[in-house]
Structure 1
Amino acid sequence: MSDANKRLAFAITEFLADSIANGTINKDDAEGIEVAIQCIGEAFGVDPSDEKHKSQFSIKPATLPKIFDVFLTTQQKAASSNQEAAPAPEKAAHTSVNSGPSADSIKAKAEDLKAAGNKEMANKQYAQAIKLYSEAIELNAENPVYYANRAAAYTQATKYEQAVADAKKAVEIDPTYGKAFSRLGQAYFCLGKYQEASDACESGLKLEPGNAALKSTKAAAEQRLNEASEPAASAPRATSATPRSGGGAPGAGFSGLGGLGGLDLGSMMSNPNFMQMAQSMMSNPAMSSMLQNPAMMQMAQSMMSDPDAMRNMMNNPEIARMAQSMMGGQGGAGGVEEAP
């Protein structure tokens, strides 16, 4: 490969690096440009960071923009000379067709405005950035980048509806522009429209599967959606179907007795007086021995499956006296206060 080609490639990498340093290139795009610099260097066998290569291939103090300006000036002079040499009628006709700024110069002016807007964004001057991007759009309304950049500025300025509109316009102009979907997802997220944000990011990820900004916004949106769909946690209600167990816990020892045949165990368990009586009974050695007897357990299960038998037992004064005796005289059934 000739040295001329290497010098040109080296000059391109210098131009791109200078554009990152002076803010011409948006910070969001800087990473991609740095990758491009490395790729150009590898393809042409030059290393922008190597001092030997700098001394061998750098064109400084000249720069590509300066060389390009010289070229444009020369081209314009050549065009002017050709026009002066042409016959008068043709010159007049040419002037009437091309009166005013050319399309290329208008697009170049729009690019200058975009670059200036990028600098204002870097300085967090969002209102000024919006103004400059708007002027660029007035000159070239078919460039999706201008709308996407203005959407970013609107988002930073908390004007989220305008950001959504600009991002949609960018997608409309170029449906393959992944960054437009990123701007749209961010604006929707800021509006609290998490499903729309997730959908926009999903569309963008189909175009750019590795885009970190799209992944991050989509993950945050889906987390908010999951939080909104989760039912409020509620405390479990103690019933005959959900017995309580464990040493010394309310109702300990009753989990093996089956259902209560229609009696409301939940209400009984919530009555502090009943629970005090139950705990006293369970601490009695005689009751503990009885519950370990298989025959007694079978009889208790049979009684608890029959509501009438259970009520008769509870109303039997002899049973009440026995219960009081088993609790060691601690109040008995007659001392339980009804819950209000």
Structure 2
Amino acid sequence: MSSKQQLVLSIIDFLNTSIQDGTVKQDDVESLEVAIQCIGEAFGVDPTDETQRDRLSVKPATLPTIFDVFLKTRAKMDTAAPAASSSSAPKAPSAEDKTAAESFKAKGNSYMSSRNYEEAISAYTKAIELDPTNPVYYSNRAAAYSSKNDHAEAILDADKAIEVDPSFVKAYHRLGHAHYSLSDYKAAADAFRRGLALDPSNASLKSGLQNSESRIGDDDDTASETPAAAAAAGAGAGGGLADILRGMGGGAPGGGAGGMPDLAGLMNNPMMMQMAQQMMANGGLERLMSNPALANMMNRVQSGGGMPSMAEIMSDPTMRDLASQFGAAAGGAGRS
């Protein structure tokens, strides 16, 4: 019943937000609060139970963002239907169009490097307008959308890249990452599997699939896990952050104090370096450094209190989310 309870919690959160932001008229608030209580009791969902909330929450996705994906997908299908029935094939881009499109793609890549995602999206869009037959442009624009946390648009672009060229493997990773970021782990796993059917040795797709499958789990297994254990499992599967730390000495002889790995070993780990670059690219480093829990840990270390343990790190929601995201994206394909 876990999937239904996840939906119910999302509905309750949406209704509570609608009360708080004034969407619901004051005269209707009391009736809606009674309805929320009845819905929760009917499905065994208590939004004040933090343990249950950790298990059922689909954050960072919300009911409106999930519904937005559905509406955009349906609109896309509706507009594509007349084009598909048309007898005239789309005009093939000229050599000049292709050259200009490549120039816009290069500009988009440069904007991505400087984290100017809006300009990158604009550049990739111009490339698509000139040459809509190249899946790379849709795939790169999907990466730009994901970088600004607009994963709904990233899904549409990744799907379009696959439609243009079903053999373009990188698009399946983009699609899987976007679904994973919206906590739709089954859809993410499906995308990674489809990519692996084309490229069975692709390490990024393997890692993404393992992380997605570890987050799906059985309802009984999920219910029996503590939030910290569930987060560690999601982050650690398939080469995630927690797995890297454990494999490099966390809690074992030779590791750093308090169960932490050796810093030099971390910096020499290719996966860790790739994950660090991804953090810098999508703003994760700023979020990490502004995390109060991390600041407290560092203050304790500076005061001689010892390094934090893995369990302590993974018990913080922000650290868990970062570990999970970079576990899914570890080894992720770069721009083309």
Assess same fold via TM > 0.5: no
Calculate the TM-score normalised by the size of structure 2.
0.38
TM-score (norm 1): 0.38
Q: Mark the structure with the bigger radius of gyration.
A: 1
- Identify the structure with bigger relative contact order (alpha carbons < 8 Å, sequence gap 6+): 2
